[in-house]
Structure 1
Amino acid sequence: MIWGIRVRLITEYWKKKMKTDIVRVHLVILGLLLIIWLVPTNYNFLIWNIILALIPFDLALLIRYFKKYRLVQILITIVWLVFFPNAMYMVTDFSHLSSIGTGLMTETQFFNYAILAVGVLTGLILGISSAHIVGRVYCQKLSTVWTIMFYVVLSFVSAYGIYLGRFLRINSWEIVSDPQKVIKLFMASISMHSLVFVISFGALQFALLVLYHMVRRINID
């Protein structure tokens, strides 16, 4: 009886703490967006990109929340998979360093480097965290091999999504709003150029996802 009460109290405490932490994450991101918006930089596009990176993170939380409602969970997972590449896409935003030069020489470069780096890393952290949450939802009760396979498939599917977004300028919502355009560009994009990109950025994502997974396991243990 007493043990049951203690378990319930601990569970309720962690649920409240988790909700508080989620609010804090969103407040920190809101603060970052305000800084990028209010302070003159070359990277105002980061505002939209970070918002898009936040969507898969929030969807992953919903996937975990609706674990008792399988159909709803699966539908949200499909939407999450469509939006997930938006978060990992942000690693390609380092290409915008060319707008201020690649050398760290002036105060303006210092500030712009810092803004771009924190924006990109924020997007990556949100994306990697969302993948970890979804991976735990679907693979926690399975063997490690299934978790690795989940990360492999996700990494290379996401890499192709990044390619479609970066080079063909396809947005996630166009899968619904203009599917014919997406299919047409998808078929036209199959080339050596896209293959090398997918292999390179798929391997990059896989390394980040596995490393994050291993670090989280160390912290939990």
Structure 2
Amino acid sequence: MAARMVAFCRYIWEVLHPDFGLGWNLFLALIPLGLSLLLFRGKARGQGGRRGTLWWLTAIAFLLFLPNAAYVLTDVIHLITEIRREPPLPLWTIVLILIPQYALFILAGFQAHVLSLLNLGHYLQKQRRPSWVLPMESGLNLLCAMGIYLGRFRRFNSWDIATQPEELLYTTLNDFTSRFPLAVVTVTFVVITGLYYLFKGVDLAVLEAWQRRHIKPEPPAKN
């Protein structure tokens, strides 16, 4: 009995073995979320709300790393590879272990994308620029779609703009004047945007429900 239990635990560990690539992608996805908290929810603007050099450098880093958050959606490719591998995994392993594992990673990564844009939207609201929110969301989702293409098909990373800027620029200009890359970016943009507004609606509904339950309204002022 003990030997069977040990063998079962070893099998579960082999299925749930730490996937460096998946964990690394999730780590990169959380970077823009952390930067958005510093930029748009914290005190990185300095005294009087002024945006100094550090703020702008952090904002550039935020834009460069933001595509990593939506990029986790493409990790479904690795899930399909695991399901199709030989010898095949038992059905219960795929349904009860493998799919939930990937679903949690992908959900956490894309949620980081959504929360990052929500933090930026909150910042624009505080800056009295609510009309900028929708163009910002569309523009950054398009930026992420382009970044996903460059990452998945061309294997570029966020830091390649510093390590190999000429090759990155040449590839970007060359590819985005061709039909296939533009088609990939268009489809990716539609998927990201659709999921973004779905997640955004759920997040805002949950936040509103939480506020109603835990934050008591202020009593009316007495005349």
Q: TM-score, normalised by structure 1?
A: 0.74
Give me the whole-angstrom Cα distance separating, in 1, the residues matched to 2:130 and 2:83. 43
Give me the whole-angstrom Cα distance separating, in 2, the residues matched to 1:59 and 1:106. 40
Question: How far is the alpha carbon of 1:167 from its aligned partner?
Answer: 0.2
Counterparts of 1:115-126 in structure 2, within 5 Å, are 115-126=101-112
Asked if 1:135 is matched to 2:138, the reply is no
Higher helix share: 1
Give me the whole-angstrom Cα distance separating, in 1, the residues matched to 2:197 and 2:92. 36
Aligned counterpart, 2:37: 61
Asked if 1:193 is matched to 2:193, the reply is no
Q: TM-score, normalised by structure 2?
A: 0.73
Give the aligned CA root-mean-square deviation in angstroms. Answer: 2.4
Amino acid of the structure 2 residue aligned with 1:114: P
CA contact (8 A) 2:141 2:193 kept: yes
Aligned counterpart, 1:107: 92
**Seq. identity, %:** 29
Give me the whole-angstrom Cα distance separating, in 2, the residues matched to 1:39 and 1:56. 31
Aligned residues: 184
Question: How far is the alpha carbon of 1:104 from its aligned partner?
Answer: 9.3
Aligned counterpart, 2:5: none
Highest Rg: 1 or 2? 2
CA contact (8 A) 1:60 1:133 kept: yes
Counterparts of 1:1-221 in structure 2, within 5 Å, are 39-41=13-15, 43-64=19-40, 65=42, 66-67=44-45, 68-71=49-52, 72-101=54-83, 106-110=91-95, 111-142=97-128, 144-190=130-176, 191-218=178-205, 219-220=207-208
Amino acid of the structure 1 residue aligned with 2:147: G
Amino acid of the structure 1 residue aligned with 2:55: Q
Question: How far is the alpha carbon of 1:216 from its aligned partner?
Answer: 4.5
Give me the whole-angstrom Cα distance separating, in 2, the residues matched to 1:205 and 1:194. 16
Question: How far is the alpha carbon of 1:187 from its aligned partner?
Answer: 2.1
Residues 151-184 of structure 1: CA deviation (Å, up to 9, x unaligned): 0101101100110000000010010111112112
CA contact (8 A) 2:114 2:200 kept: no
Where 1:101 maps in the other structure, the secondary structure is helix
Question: How far is the alpha carbon of 1:81 from its aligned partner?
Answer: 0.6
